[in-house]
Structure 1
């Protein structure tokens, strides 16, 4: 069987020859510019939102630092407060398992209480 296509396979042009490039109209340019402007505006909004979140994150971090300084001034150990806060976030079963393993390891090393 021969080639069923009316033109050879693998040629980079259509069966009737290469097409001339299309001319860009004023409507094409306007659509392209509007699309570009919309994408640029959306990008600007994402960047500005992210920057605002960075400012808010820094504000919260400063407030947390001030709170720990106040707790320290009242006699609490900030390091232990952070441990307690981290433990409160965890699942109770996972925490209990970790504490049991820690007690076992301490006993094995002669550090049990």
Structure 2
């Protein structure tokens, strides 16, 4: 019985520390975003994604912050595709509403035209 309790508490502590580490990475990403350091934001978000794979509920938040950082870096096409990913995969989430608002802002600023595809036609090599 004692061995079972030790094993139970050891397993519980690993689960809690994993969740704490995930929260730390997301909190750090927000801090770095406030400081304008998108390189560190992307690193923290990548680490959070690796820890959150079993818990898909954090992906829209991670993706939204990544999209905002891409915008800040001037990578508007990447940001648009990130927001479109959120809308397609998590349409009922709060982050989908925020992603939709970001897309509208990018449209008003001239960085996004919903009528046009983000990527043009693929060039095919000529055959001889």
Task: Tell me whether the two structures share a fold, i.e. TM-score over 0.5.
Answer: no
> Over alpha carbons, which structure has the higher Rg?
1
The structure, 1 or 2, with the larger RCO (C-alpha pairs under 8 Å, 6+ apart) is 2
TM-score by length of structure 2 reads 0.31
Give the helix-richer structure, 1 or 2: 2
